[in-house]
Amino acid sequence: MTTAENPEIGATADANGIKTNYLEAGTGDPAVLIHGSGPGVTSYANWRLVPPALAENFRVVAPDMVGFGFSERPANIEYGIQTWADQVVGLMDTLELPKAHLVGNSFGGAIALRIAAQHPDRVGKLVLMGSMGVPFPITKGLERVWGYEPSFENMRKGLDVFAYSRDLVNDELAEVRYRASIQPGFQESFAAMFPAPRQRWVEAMCTPEDEIRQLPHRTLIVHGREDQVIPAQTSLRLMELIDNADLRVFSHCGHWSMIERTKDFNRNVSEFFSG
């Protein structure tokens, strides 16, 4: 399969020993986009509306995290936040990026937080969107997402919790995402990441609060007010913990700020990185 046939496939680079598929666009200060953890997700599916805007002023790099998309799935991999954080840092090393802005969505926000805590000098500014990273009681929405079993009906129910607007969640999108979720290896790796009971994986994605308090980075926190997957209270807590953080809450918006409020999200992030 070539990139011309599938826009989800970009270049491949070694990232801490993992052959990593990543998309790249633009020039300038680098910004690494870290996707969320939905079934069948790829970096392209998550971020496709963002790079065209950010690439006007920045070098955008958007990898498929190991276990997702078209990155390698090593047989004995131990999925976990440290593995994913080390993958991102490894990709930055391979691409010779000594420092980059990080944009993390949901589970990707937790990864970005871990990188910022462990490698503060490698991170410029930080954007956390509907982010995990602090404890919360698992929501019915996240339970449904992580407990996905492949079927069109289950994908349709899963997508229902992501978006505020029913217009965004139609049968065509559900069919595309369902087909993505049953590509060879996709569901096997996804099912291995967050087996029940799933509350423990919420905690496993956390960075200790005393480490978050020490973060020096300018941080933009974005959350949809109607998010059913990650409660908005997590972003309020992150704002309390990070001294140099601003919070934007979008109304009539669920877990997909970059899709439901694309223009607002892209404008806020571009201005934040440029300021």
Closest by Cα among 247, 234, 238 to 213: 238
**Known catalytic residue at 255:** yes
What end-to-end distance do the CA atoms of the chain give, in Å?
A: 40
8 A C-beta contact, residue 63 and residue 21: yes
Which sign does the torsion angle of CA 71, 26, 271, 88 carry?
A: positive
Report residue 63: phi and psi, to 5°: -90, 155
Q: Are 198 and 134 in contact (CB under 8 A)?
A: no
Tokens linked to 111: 């990864």
Residue 236: CB partners within 8 Å, gap ≥ 6?
247
Contacts of 51 (CB under 8 A, 6+ apart): 23, 25, 26, 33, 60, 62
The answer to whether the beta carbons of residues 206 and 238 sit under 8 Å apart is no
Catalytic option among 37, 43, 106, 131: 106
HSE-up (13 A, CA, CB side) for residue 204: 16
Active-site residue (options: 35, 217, 255, 257): 255
Q: Is position 106 annotated as part of the catalytic site?
A: yes
Q: Which listed residue (35, 64, 227, 235) is catalytic?
A: 227
Check if 252 is active-site: no
Task: Enumerate the active-site residues.
Answer: 106, 227, 255
